[in-house]
Structure 1
């Protein structure tokens, strides 16, 4: 049975905090991704790592290498970062992933901070597809 997306987000953030407490800041993004994947597996949370997200346009599919770090339970997109500060580009990247996947909620997790809560950003996709008149 699928969890509510808010509960799922809370669970994933809890696991990210566990990873951060064990590793601390300073590692490459790929290290945090591997550790979070391990914790997700241990918690029996369904996920796909480096999930390819194609863009659908008219009657074609555009495969341009969009890959989200994690697609959790087909409900939540998670992007891991290990940067000084999250940028507008990071937020736009996650928002694009949400639009492409037609999902509402995503989390940006920046592990390169002393306290992980300062590196968390929830992004909500408010994009509504316009119907032609």
Structure 2
């Protein structure tokens, strides 16, 4: 289900004039080693916002940690965790920020 939601959302965002990259490789650097494409972020919107798509009963803390990890590794400021299985979409949206400074 997540793949279908990802495809439809990406197509709709492109139709609205946004730049959308799907399945963006996320590299890891550890102790002098570079591991390419260790993870994959579902969508990258306008080279700024990371979108992680879920179709699960409830968002768990590990899902937020996943998005925060992508934000840190990709040096991006904002991510959205989108769960399409909630009763309403409003319930399924969680905004996360990397190194938030008011």
Q: Secondary structure of 1:65's partner?
A: strand
- How many matched pairs? 100
> Contact (CA 8 Å) 2:28, 2:38: kept in 1 or not?
no
| Corresponding residue to 2:67 among 94, 98, 113 | 94
Is 1:68 aligned to 2:41, yes or no? yes
Q: More helix by proportion, 1 or 2?
A: 1
Q: TM-score, normalised by structure 1?
A: 0.70
Q: More strand by proportion, 1 or 2?
A: 2
Quickly say closer, same or farther: Cα 1:69–1:90, change in 2 above 3 A.
same
- Uncovered stretches (5+) of structure 1, i.e. residues with no partner: 1-27, 128-133
CA separation in 2, counterparts of 1:75 and 1:42? 18
Q: Secondary structure of 1:63's partner?
A: strand
Match of 2:17 in 1: 44
Tell me the alpha carbon deviations over residues 56-93 of structure 1, each in whole angstroms, 9 at most, x when there is no partner. 23543112530000011111100010000000110010
- CA shift, 1:53, in A, is 0.8
Which has the larger Rg? 1
